[in-house]
Amino acid sequence: MAETINPQWRVAAFPRAGPQASDFRWVEASLPTLRDGDVRVRNIYLSLDPTNRLWISGQETYLPAQRIGDVVRGGAIGIVEESRNAHLKAGDLVSGLLGWQLYYTGAGRGLAPLSLIEDVPLLAHHGVLGAVGLTAYFGLLDIGRPELGETVLVSAAAGAVGSLVGQIAKIKGCEVVGLAGSEDKCRWLTEELGFDRAINYRTVDLNRALRESCRKGVDVYFDNVGGEILNAALGCINRKGRVVTCGLISQYNAEEPAHNLSNLSRFLIQRARMEAFIVVDYLPRAAEALPQLTEWLRAGRLRYRVDVVQGLDRAPETLNRLFDGSNQGKLVVQVSPAP
Amino acid sequence: MAETINPQWRVAAFPRAGPQASDFRWVEASLPTLRDGDVRVRNIYLSLDPTNRLWISGQETYLPAQRIGDVVRGGAIGIVEESRNAHLKAGDLVSGLLGWQLYYTGAGRGLAPLSLIEDVPLLAHHGVLGAVGLTAYFGLLDIGRPELGETVLVSAAAGAVGSLVGQIAKIKGCEVVGLAGSEDKCRWLTEELGFDRAINYRTVDLNRALRESCRKGVDVYFDNVGGEILNAALGCINRKGRVVTCGLISQYNAEEPAHNLSNLSRFLIQRARMEAFIVVDYLPRAAEALPQLTEWLRAGRLRYRVDVVQGLDRAPETLNRLFDGSNQGKLVVQVSPAP
């Protein structure tokens, strides 16, 4: 290993609204030496997800709050270059919270070895067969529990998680309606992913559009956004309907989050259930989901898009694409070449 | 039976905000004759409950919307005076949706015979051993599922349902905190019903008071009110916490209901669950609950207050007492003498 410099992004300030360039600081750190149990990993693909915004909010979430000066937390896939850990050796692919940096140096414990599945590209392991796939699988099936013929509504449906949720719901025999923010995304949902209907929420009267697209009401609403869309979905919720609270992205950049659920009366009258989950709780059950996701993927029943941005230096500006509606599918920053 | 006049209240208009005298019309109807299967019941105790407000809203709820001119729907206890129904005979006590009137004349089907339990007053059958008791029992135990040592927070805690919820939670070994609207109610909760703490929500900074009273956070929030109190409770919700949505009384009189749940992010991070229920769904399971409620009642472990207002003519004005905070315990209108 010739290089001794580790370029990385650190937290410079807690964003108040949308993350700004000034909230991040580019540092060329030196590489620490390895201690017993440590590994050095060269990061390849850095995953950008809405939850990243919560981690740098300065608030404790389901993980400890990041502090000023910390390397920005982020999930990534990388390749082990040096190891003093008995379970990992140079050349192994791993995934984990490797951070917004070129090299992760630290405990090998907590990193998951990645066994490449034949015919499945590395990037799919990051999405469909990674946290994104597990989020869609367990959120929909374990929390939403859709039944044959039920109507499943998905928000941020052209996003990494939403696009899988809709396809899994189709596999399970549901009517699937997606909400997305452009005509192009809507076409992708209906023409390529098999959604029954898609609504461009930016151009319609949301309440009317939902009533028209979900004529039998909504049995499962998979919520990635919160806010007005959540409220509109509650306005269509069916008897014993279920809301899967996966994300609240509409409000992550808000200084004063607003989820005015005026339709909560319908939630009550319909004896509905709203339940939140975090995929980390399901990691111990990953083995239940991965063979099924792999089978569907190989059979062409799960399609996905990956939106790859080149260069660690572009990570901060790229994060904002999750909030301005400009990305489609799984958003990834390529930090270094794949093997 | 000498009387042939049936005084009754009919729906005159759908209340827009708080119900007004002009929303009800007093009618002295004549008594219809009985057809096969019918009974005539003289109403004794008319139950006034927050849900009555929903029934006269002009909107379909979990029961069909009432229309202008309908006898106001209401649950009551009465005594059969005439019967052409094989299952009911004169002198039987029954409960059911007998309406805001002196005499119910109609199908005996749908009325539940009431077997008086020794030492238990008739009024308790209407409350603790009626829909109110089943609401508290199933809402807390089946939806909230409190465990030993957990913290249970109850709103409208001095109300008919809330006061039972807190006592059942104490029986189950929980820490119980109640929210009520006066010092007098709070004293009743802590000094007579065994609540650990009570908060007069009208006089405190709600968020701070909840943090101080629920130092270990809230595991189960039994929600009778919605709105700001619901949001404050979400702000304290624990990992895998449960919100039992039983009622949203803070907004029943609002033209534009407002449940601004800015704390939904905590709901997400804590993987919480919010679930609504309506007691009618549990009526088939009443036999699971009633022996237990009866045992607790006889053992003095469930205390209750009944607030009896004399005279059917006072029903409309009395209904408002559920919304202005002036009633305590179960609110009942006495329509005619008890046997």
Q: Is A245 on the interface with B (CB under 8 A)?
A: yes
Are B271 and A248 inside 8 Å of each other by CB? no
Residues of A with CB below 8 A from B251's CB?
A: 264-265
Q: Averaged over B265-281, what is the pLDDT?
A: 96
Q: Is B240 on the interface with A (CB under 8 A)?
A: no
Please state, for a pLDDT cut of 90, what percent of chain A lies above it.
Answer: 86
Q: Which CATH superfamily is domain B5-127+305-334 in?
A: Medium-chain alcohol dehydrogenases, catalytic domain (3.90.180.10)
- A249 DSSP 8-state letter: G
Q: Using alpha carbons, select from A58, A71, A130 the residue that is nearest to residue A283.
A: A130
As a whole number of Å, the CA-based R_g of chain A is: 20
- Are the C-beta atoms of A130 and A187 separated by less than 8 Å? no
Residues 37..66 of B with a Cβ closer than 8 Å to A: which?
54, 61-62
Q: Using alpha carbons, select from A8, A99, A18, A26 the residue that is nearest to residue A57.
A: A18
Q: Strands A38-48 and A330-334, how do they pair?
A: antiparallel
Q: Is A226 left (phi over 0), alpha (psi -120 to 50) or beta?
A: left
The tokens describing B16, both together, are 């827009």
Angstrom distance (rounded) from CA B141 to CA B284: 16
Q: Is A270 on the interface with B (CB under 8 A)?
A: yes
* Chain B nearest CA to A258, separation (Å): 5
Candidates 3.40.640.10, 3.30.110.40, 3.40.1350.10, 3.90.180.10; correct CATH number of A5-127+304-334?
A: 3.90.180.10
CA B289 to chain CA centroid, nearest Å: 16
- Are the C-beta atoms of A242 and A226 separated by less than 8 Å? no
A102-111, A201-210, B85-94, B255-264: which range is least confident on average? B255-264
- A293-330 tens-digit pLDDT: 999 999 999 999 999 999 999 999 999 999 888 888 89
Residue B198, classed as helix, strand or coil, is: strand
Q: Averaged over B101-118, what is the pLDDT?
A: 92
Q: What does the pLDDT read at residue A119?
A: 81
Interface A:B, Cβ pairs < 8 A: 93
Angstrom distance (rounded) from CA A12 to CA B172: 49
Q: pLDDT tier at B328 (50, 70, 90 boundaries)?
A: confident
Residue B58: CB atoms within 10 A of its CB come to 14
Angstrom distance (rounded) from CA A233 to CA A154: 10
Global pTM value: 0.93
Q: Averaged over B295-305, what is the pLDDT?
A: 94
Burial A111-136 (b: 16+ CB within 10 A, else e): beebeeeeeeeebbbbbbbbbbbbbb
The tokens describing A228, both together, are 């007005």
Q: What does the pLDDT read at residue A253?
A: 84
Q: Is B266 on the interface with A (CB under 8 A)?
A: no
Q: Strands A237-245 and A273-276, how do they pair?
A: parallel
Q: What is the ipTM of this complex?
A: 0.92
Angstrom distance (rounded) from CA A76 to CA A42: 10
- B211-252 tens-digit pLDDT: 999 999 999 999 999 999 999 999 999 999 999 999 999 888
- B12-50 tens-digit pLDDT: 999 988 899 999 999 999 999 999 999 999 999 999 999
Task: Specify the higher pLDDT residue, A124 or A8.
Answer: A8
Contacts of A41 (CB under 8 A, 6+ apart): A78, A79, A80, A81, A94, A98, A103, A104, A105, A111
- B181-213 tens-digit pLDDT: 999 999 999 999 999 999 999 999 999 999 999
Q: Using alpha carbons, select from A202, A206, A251 the residue that is nearest to residue A231.
A: A206
Residue B124 has pLDDT above 60, yes or no: yes
Q: What does the pLDDT read at residue B257?
A: 85
Are B62 and A269 inside 8 Å of each other by CB? yes
Q: pLDDT tier at A3 (50, 70, 90 boundaries)?
A: low
CA distances from B105 to A277, B30, B52, B84 (A): 51, 11, 21, 11
Q: Is A85 left (phi over 0), alpha (psi -120 to 50) or beta?
A: beta
Please state, for a pLDDT cut of 90, what percent of chain B lies above it.
Answer: 86
Q: What does the pLDDT read at residue B16?
A: 87
What residue spans define the domains of chain B? 5-127+305-334, 131-280
Q: What does the pLDDT read at residue A18?
A: 87
CA distances from B60 to B7, B51, B81 (A): 26, 12, 32
Q: Using alpha carbons, select from B126, B180, B148, B122 the residue that is nearest to residue B326.
A: B180
- Are the C-beta atoms of A305 and A163 separated by less than 8 Å? yes
Q: What does the pLDDT read at residue B324?
A: 87
**How many CA atoms does the CB half-sphere of B243 hold within 13 Å?**
37
Asked if CATH classification 3.40.50.720 holds for the domain at B131-280, the reply, yes or no, is yes
Of residues B251, B261, B274, nearest to A259 (C-beta): B261
Residue A1 has pLDDT above 60, yes or no: no
Residues of B with CB below 8 A from A248's CB?
A: 264-265, 268
Q: pLDDT tier at B3 (50, 70, 90 boundaries)?
A: low
Residue that has been written with the tokens 């650190």 in this structure: A10
- Are the C-beta atoms of A334 and A309 separated by less than 8 Å? yes
Angstrom distance (rounded) from CA A86 to CA B62: 61
- For an interface test with B, give the residue of A264, A270, A279, A281 to mutate (most B CBs within 10 A): A264
Sign of the alpha-carbon dihedral angle for B53, B57, B61, B65: positive
Please state, for a pLDDT cut of 70, what percent of chain B lies above it.
Answer: 99
Residues of A with CB below 8 A from B260's CB?
A: 258-261
Burial A268-295 (b: 16+ CB within 10 A, else e): bbbbbbbbbbbbeebeeebeebbeebbe
Residue B2 has pLDDT above 70, yes or no: no
- Are the C-beta atoms of A46 and A74 separated by less than 8 Å? yes
- A46-65 tens-digit pLDDT: 999 999 999 999 988 899 99
A168-182, B49-63, B82-96: which range is least confident on average? B49-63
Are B54 and A273 inside 8 Å of each other by CB? no
CA distances from B278 to A3, B73, B306 (A): 66, 17, 22
Of residues A268, A276, A277, nearest to B276 (C-beta): A268
- A248-297 tens-digit pLDDT: 998 888 888 889 999 999 999 999 999 999 999 999 999 999 999 999 99
Q: Using alpha carbons, select from B90, B50, B43 the residue that is nearest to residue B71.
A: B43
Angstrom distance (rounded) from CA B338 to CA A16: 65
Angstrom distance (rounded) from CA A157 to CA B221: 32
For A55, the closest chain B residue by CA position comes to: B269
Same topology, domains B5-127+305-334 and B131-280? Answer is no
Are B269 and A62 inside 8 Å of each other by CB? yes
Q: What does the pLDDT read at residue B299?
A: 93
CA B40 to chain CA centroid, nearest Å: 26
- A13-21 LR contacts (CB < 8 Å, sep 24+): A13/A68, A14/A56, A14/A57, A14/A58, A14/A68, A15/A53, A15/A56, A15/A57, A15/A253, A16/A255, A17/A253, A17/A254, A17/A255, A18/A253, A18/A320, A18/A323, A19/A53, A19/A56, A19/A253, A19/A316, A19/A319, A19/A320, A21/A316, A21/A317
Are A245 and B226 inside 8 Å of each other by CB? no
Are A274 and B273 inside 8 Å of each other by CB? yes
